[in-house]
Structure 1
Amino acid sequence: MNASFWYDSWSPLGTLIKALGHEGPRSLRVPLLAKVAHATNPHGWVISDPRSDLALSLHMYLTTIPLPRVDLGPDSYDWVVDDQICNGFSSTRTWSSIRPKASKVPWHQTVWFKGATPRNAFNMWVANLDRLPTKTRLSNWGMNIDITCSLCDSLPESRDHLFLSCDFALFLWNAVSRRIRSTGLAFNSWPEMLAWTNQSNHDSPPTLRKLIVQSVLYAIWKQRNNAVHNQVHLPPSVIFKEIDREIKNSISARIINKKIKHLMSRWI
Structure 2
Amino acid sequence: MIDFWSQPWHPKGIISNILPSHRTKLALASAHSLSQIHNSNGWNPVLSKPSLAEEFSTLKEAIFNSENLNIPIWKPSTSGYFSTKSAWNAVRTIQLKPPWHDSIWFPGHIPRHSIVAWKAIQDKLLTKDNLLRFIPFVDTQCPLCCAENESVNHLLFSCSYLAWIWRVILRRFGTRRRPKKELKEEEQWAPKNFRGKGQISTALKLCFTSSIYHILGERNNRVFENSKSHKSVVLGRIIVEVRIKINCLGISDLPSKVNHQIADNMGFIFNTKFYAPRLCSWSLPSANEIKVNVDASLEESGGGIGGLLRHHDGSCIVMFSKLTDREEIFALEILAIENGVKLASALGTQYLWIESDSLFAVKSVAGETKYPWKQSNRIKSYQNNLGWLHILED
Q: TM-score, normalised by structure 2?
A: 0.44
CA deviations on 1:17-43 (whole Å, 9 max, x unpaired) are xxxxxxxxxxxxxxxxxxxxxxxxxxx
Q: Is the 8 A contact 1:164 1:170 kept in 2?
A: yes
CA distance in 1 between partners of 2:208 and 2:86 (Å): 33
Structure 1 residues 80 and 168: alpha-carbon distance in aligned structure 2, compared to 1, 3 A threshold: same
Paired residue for 1:130, among 123, 126, 132?
123
Deviation at 1:188, TM superposition (A): 2.5
Provide the C-alpha distance between the structure 1 equivalents of 2:132 and 2:77, rounded to a whole number of angstroms: 50
TM-aligned CA deviation for residue 101 of structure 1: 1.9
How many residue pairs match? The answer is 205
Between the aligned partners of 1:110 and 1:243, the Cα distance in structure 2 is: 17
- Residue 77 of structure 2 contacts residue 86 of structure 2 at CA under 8 Å; is this kept in 1? no
Residue from 54, 76, 82 that aligns with 1:82 = 76
Written as runs of structure 1 = structure 2, the 5 A alignment for 1:1-268 is 63=34, 67-69=38-40, 80=74, 82=76, 87=81, 90-200=83-193, 206-256=201-251, 264-265=263-264, 267-268=266-267
Contact 1:149 1:157 in 2 (8 A): yes
- Contact 2:206/2:242, CA 8 A, preserved across alignment: yes
* Deviation at residue 241 of structure 1 after TM alignment: 0.8
| Alignment gaps of 5+ in structure 1 | 1-10, 12-59
Q: Is the 8 A contact 1:111 1:121 kept in 2?
A: yes
The CA deviation string for residues 76-103 of structure 1, in whole angstroms up to 9 with x for no partner, is x97946377865x622222222222222
Which entry has the higher C-alpha Rg, 1 or 2?
A: 2
Counterpart secondary structure, 2:154: helix
- After TM superposition, give the deviation of residue 252 of structure 1 in Å: 1.2
CA drift at 1:209: 2.7
Identity of aligned residues (%): 26
Superposition RMSD in Å:
3.7
Residue 200 and residue 170 in structure 1: after superposition, are their counterparts in 2 closer, same or farther (change >3 A)?
Answer: closer
CA contact (8 A) 1:197 1:209 kept: no
Write the deviation string for residues 128-163 of structure 1: whole angstroms up to 9, x where unpaired: 111111100111234431111121222110111112
Q: Does the 8 Å contact 1:81/1:94 carry over to 2?
A: no
Q: Which runs of 5+ in 2 are unaligned?
A: 2-30, 43-62, 65-70, 268-394
Larger RCO (CA under 8 A, 6+ residues apart): 1
TM-score after normalising by structure 1: 0.63
- On the 8 A contact 1:187/1:193 being kept in 2, the answer is yes
**Aligned equivalents of 1:81 and 1:223: distance in 2?**
52
Asked if the contact 1:111/1:124 (under 8 Å) is kept, the reply is yes
